[in-house]
Structure 1
Amino acid sequence: MGSTTTNPFKHQPHSLTKKLLPWTLYALLLISLLPLYFFTIPTFQLHQHTPIITTTTTSSSSSSSSPTSKEEKRAINAQMACDYSNGKWVPDKVGPLYNGTSCGTIKDGQNCMSHGRPDLGYLYWKWKPNQCKLPRFFPETFLQILRNKHLAFVGDSMARNQLESLLCMLSSASPPKLVYTNGDDIKFRRWHFHSHNVTVSIYWSPFLVKGIEKTESESVNYNRLYLDSVDERWASDMDRMDIIVLSVGHWFLHPAVYYNGESVLGCHYCTGLNYTEVGFYDVFRKAFNTTLNAIIERRGSSSNGIGVIVTTFSPHHFEGEWDKFGACPKTQPYMEGEKELEGMDAEMRGVEVVEVRAAKEKAKNFGGLRLDVLDVTKLSLMRPDGHPGPYMYANPFANGIGERVQNDCVHWCLPGPVDTWNEIMLDVMKRWEV
C-alpha cells in the first residue's frame, strides 16, 4: 500500500471530551523528576544495557512514613524509583487476563491458542524486576486514568501487537466498540470504551516520517523515506491525541532510498541503484528526531498537554531459516545471564533511548509535555518462547510435518509476553498522575 499524507480519520466524528490538566501540576512533576531523566548517555555506551524506565514503588522501609503533601509523595517516589528494564522471568500460576476465545480483537496470526499450539507454558511467566515488584494490570485503573482521553498507537505491526494486547486486557473489564476501520489489513482503526469515554486508535506508520512503501504494482523493491517530514497520516490528528505510543523498528531493515526534501541522501541495500549505501541506524535516529521535534513544536505549548511513550525495539528469535521446522523452537524463557543484549538489538534500543532523552531536555520548559521510554528490549529478548512460530496458521501439522512451514518469530502470541509491556505502560501512566 503506497503511503500518502492523507489522514484516513479526517472525516470521522470524534467525540472525545478534552480534559484540561493544570500547568502547575506538570511543572512540579518535571522538577521532581529532573534527577532521574536528564543525564547523558555517551555514544560508545549504546551497546550496553543502560536502564531507562524507572517507576515508583513502595517497600516496608517506607511504610512508617505518611506524607501529607503531593510534593513529599513525589520525593519519596523518586527515591524509590524502580528500573523495570532489568530483571528475570519467573513462573506465575495466575496466568493472563484473557484467552484466545475471550477477546475478539486478536489478529489471526497471533492467536496461538486457537491455532492449536500444544504447549501452554509460555502463558505462565511473570517479569520480575531486580529492584521491585511489577504490579498486575488492573483494567479499571487504566480506563480511569484515560477517562475522556484518546490513546493513539502509531507505528508498524509491533504497535498493533501491543494495541491488541491492551484491548484484550481492557475488555476483561469493559468491552470496546469498533467505531472506525480503514486501509488494507485493517491498518487504521479506532475503538471506543463507552464506560469511561476512552478512545483507542491505531495508525499505520512504519517509519513515523513520511514514507512510500514498496509495491508489487510499481515493480519497486525498495521503500522511500522522507526523513525531514513527519507522516501526516497520524500527525495531522495530533491535536486530538492525549497519549501517543510510538513503536517502530523492523521496517528500517528493508531496502530503502532516503530523501531530505527532494534530495537523495543515500540508500540501504539498493542493488542496481547508483546511490551511496548508508547505514540504517543513522536513518532510524533521524526519523525519531524529526518525529519528536514535530510533537514538541506542535504540542509543546498546548495547555491540555500530551504524553509520549516510545516502545523500544523488540528482538526476533529466528534460529535458522524462516520457513523451516523449528525456526523458533524454544518453549521457556532464557534465564538471567543466558542471553545478552548486543548487536543490532542494542543499537536500535540505544538510538531510541538517546533520542527520547534529548527530546526531554529540549522540552523541559513545556509543562504539558511528558515523554517516557517503555524499555522492553531486554525483557523481550529473554522470551524466545513467546512467538507464534508455525502457529501463525491454524493446525499447521494436521497432516504431518512438511518440508516447509512458515514461521513467525517476530510478533508475539496473544496472550503472551507483550502483555507485560502494557503492565509497565500502566505504571508509567500512574506516575504521570502523581
Structure 2
Amino acid sequence: MGWRNVIVRIVILLSVNLAVINSSNEVDEELHRVGRSRLRTRQRRLINGCDLFRGNWVYDESYPLYDSRSCPFIGSGFDCQRNGRPDQDYLKYRWQPHGCDLQRFDGKVLVERWKGKKIMFVGDSLSFNQWESLTCMLHTAVPHARYTLEYRGTLSIFSIPEYELSIMMLKNGFLVDVVTQQVGRVLRLDSISTGSRWLGIDVLIFNSYHWWTHRWEYFEVGGRLFKDMDHMEAYRIALKTWAKWIDSNIDHSRTQVFFQGVSAAHLNGSEWRQPRARFCYRQTRPIDESKFAGVPHPGEFIVKSVLDEMQNPACLLDITYLSQLRKDGHPSIYAGGGPKYLDCSHWCLAGVPDTWNQLLYTVLFGQ
C-alpha cells in the first residue's frame, strides 16, 4: 500500500473510529483521576529543571529551519506549499518551553556525532513524517554532501556516505504481528516476530497509535481469537508486548531507544473553542495555551503508563501537548488529493515534525 493510500485511510478511519476511542471508559476515568502530573517524572526530559514539552508556540521570523522547495525528499502529501497552500505563517512558529530554550538544531554537528551510526524510525506514516523532516534538516545542513535514497519494501534508507550515516524508516504501524488466518487479517497482540530488524541499530525511534483507531475485526491474545475488542485496551496490550520485547532484547549500552509519543489530530473544533470549525480547514494560527480547551489524550496516558513499567524505559518524546496546540500545521486540503480530501492528522513540511527532531536533538545532546 502506498503512503498516499495510508494517509487517506488514516484520515477517513480516524474520523469513523473516534467513537471507539472515546468508548474506553477505563482509560477516560483514569485520565481524569490521575491526569498528566502524577505520572512518574522520569518520562519527562528535564534540562536544568525545565520541562521541554510544556510551553507555547511563538512567532519567529528566522523559521522555518529549511525551505521545502530545496528539499527533494518531501512526499507529495506533506508538501503543502507545492500543493497550493496560500498562507505561510504556520511555517514561522517556534516551540518555546516555559523557563528555558530548546537547543538550536545544528545538522552539521548531528551528522558528525552520528558518524558511522544507524538510526531507525519504526512506525506508521507519522514516523514517516518525522523521518522526511530529518532528511530535509540534514540535507540543508550539509547540502554538498552526496546522499543516497533507497526503498526496499517497507524499509526506506537515507544515507550520507561521507559520514557513513544511515537514517532509516521501517513501516510498522502496530509494532506487533499482523497475520492472515482463515477468518482474515488478525492482530496478534502478544507476538512480535520481526523484531530482529530492530537489532544492531544505534538509535531507535518507535511510534504507534493512529493505526489503532482503524476499524479492525479480529484480535488474538494468548491463542484466543476475539472478534473486535476495545481498541485502546488492544493498544495497551500491544505496547506492553513491545516494551517486554525491548527490555529482553535491546542492549541499552549500544542502542538508545525513544518513543515518538502520540501526535494529535484536530477533528473537534471545541478543543479550541470553535465548535463549528470544519476540523483543521482554514486554521492558520496555533492555539494559545491559555485558550486550549482540550483534554488529556487517551493514547498519551497509555504510552506513559507502559513506558513507566519498563525495566529500562524508552525516552519519551512527549509531543502530544505541543502538537495539540498546532491546529494550523496540518495539510488540510493541501495534501495533494484535491479540495474534497481533508488531512488533519499529518503535518506539513516544513512544519511541526521539525520541532520533534529539534527535541530529539536537545534530548540527545543538550546540557
Q: TM-score range by the shorter chain?
A: 0.7 to 0.9
2:97 corresponds in structure 1 to 129
2:8 corresponds in structure 1 to none
Amino acid paired to 1:372: C
Q: Is the 1:210–1:227 Cα contact (8 Å) retained in structure 2?
A: yes
1:166–1:176 distance in 2 versus 1, CA, 3 Å: farther
1:427–1:103 distance in 2 versus 1, CA, 3 Å: same
In the TM superposition, what is the alpha-carbon distance from 1:283 to its structure 2 partner? 1.3
Q: Does 1:421 align with 2:359?
A: no
2:266 corresponds in structure 1 to 317
In the TM superposition, what is the alpha-carbon distance from 1:307 to its structure 2 partner? 1.0
Q: Is the 1:151–1:241 Cα contact (8 Å) retained in structure 2?
A: yes
Amino acid paired to 1:190: I
1:280–1:298 distance in 2 versus 1, CA, 3 Å: same
Q: Does 1:147 align with 2:115?
A: yes
CA distance in 1, matches of 2:268, 2:250: 43
1:107–1:263 distance in 2 versus 1, CA, 3 Å: same
1:189 corresponds in structure 2 to 156
Q: Is the 1:99–1:113 Cα contact (8 Å) retained in structure 2?
A: no
In the TM superposition, what is the alpha-carbon distance from 1:293 to its structure 2 partner? 1.4
Q: Does 1:405 align with 2:340?
A: yes
1:284 corresponds in structure 2 to 235
Match of 2:295 among 305, 327, 342: 342
Query: Percent identity of the aligned residues?
Result: 28
Q: Is the 1:145–1:429 Cα contact (8 Å) retained in structure 2?
A: no
Q: Does 1:258 align with 2:201?
A: no
CA distance in 2, matches of 1:287, 1:46: 24
Deviations along 1:341-363, whole A, 9 cap, x unmatched?
Answer: 426xx21001111111211xx23
In the TM superposition, what is the alpha-carbon distance from 1:231 to its structure 2 partner? 4.8
1:374–1:213 distance in 2 versus 1, CA, 3 Å: farther
Match of 2:319 among 368, 373, 376: 376
Amino acid paired to 1:408: D
1:389 corresponds in structure 2 to 332
In the TM superposition, what is the alpha-carbon distance from 1:285 to its structure 2 partner? 1.4
Once the two structures are superposed, the pairs formed by residues 161-310 of structure 1 within 5 Å of their partners are 161-174=129-142, 175=145, 177-183=147-153, 187-212=154-179, 224-232=186-194, 235-256=195-216, 257-260=218-221, 262-267=223-228, 278-300=229-251, 304-310=253-259
Quick check: 173-182 or 252-261, which moved more?
173-182
1:348–1:213 distance in 2 versus 1, CA, 3 Å: farther
Amino acid paired to 1:284: Y
1:326–1:53 distance in 2 versus 1, CA, 3 Å: closer
SS of corresponding position for 2:289: coil
2:17 corresponds in structure 1 to none
1:326–1:87 distance in 2 versus 1, CA, 3 Å: closer
Matched length: 327
Unaligned runs of 5+ in 1: 2-41, 57-79, 268-277, 364-369, 397-403
CA distance in 2, matches of 1:326, 1:203: 30
Quick check: 374-383 or 285-294, which moved more?
285-294
Q: Does 1:118 align with 2:118?
A: no
Q: Is the 2:155–2:168 Cα contact (8 Å) retained in structure 1?
A: yes
1:315–1:325 distance in 2 versus 1, CA, 3 Å: closer
Amino acid paired to 2:136: C
CA distance in 1, matches of 2:122, 2:325: 25
Larger Rg: 1
2:36 corresponds in structure 1 to 49
Once the two structures are superposed, the pairs formed by residues 67-106 of structure 1 within 5 Å of their partners are 80-106=48-74
1:393–1:47 distance in 2 versus 1, CA, 3 Å: farther
SS of corresponding position for 1:170: helix
In the TM superposition, what is the alpha-carbon distance from 1:45 to its structure 2 partner? 5.7
Q: If the length of structure 1 is used for normalisation, what is the TM-score? A: 0.70
Alignment RMSD (CA, Å) = 2.7
1:176–1:154 distance in 2 versus 1, CA, 3 Å: farther
Q: Is the 1:82–1:132 Cα contact (8 Å) retained in structure 2?
A: yes
Deviations along 1:57-115, whole A, 9 cap, x unmatched?
Answer: xxxxxxxxxxxxxxxxxxxxxxx132111101111010122222111111111101111
Moved over 4 A (4+): 42-47, 324-327
In the TM superposition, what is the alpha-carbon distance from 1:318 to its structure 2 partner? 2.8
CA distance in 1, matches of 2:179, 2:343: 25
Q: Is the 1:145–1:430 Cα contact (8 Å) retained in structure 2?
A: no
CA distance in 2, matches of 1:231, 1:123: 40
CA distance in 1, matches of 2:287, 2:149: 40
Amino acid paired to 1:203: L
Deviations along 1:126-162, whole A, 9 cap, x unmatched?
Answer: 1111121112211022222322111100000000001
SS of corresponding position for 1:94: coil
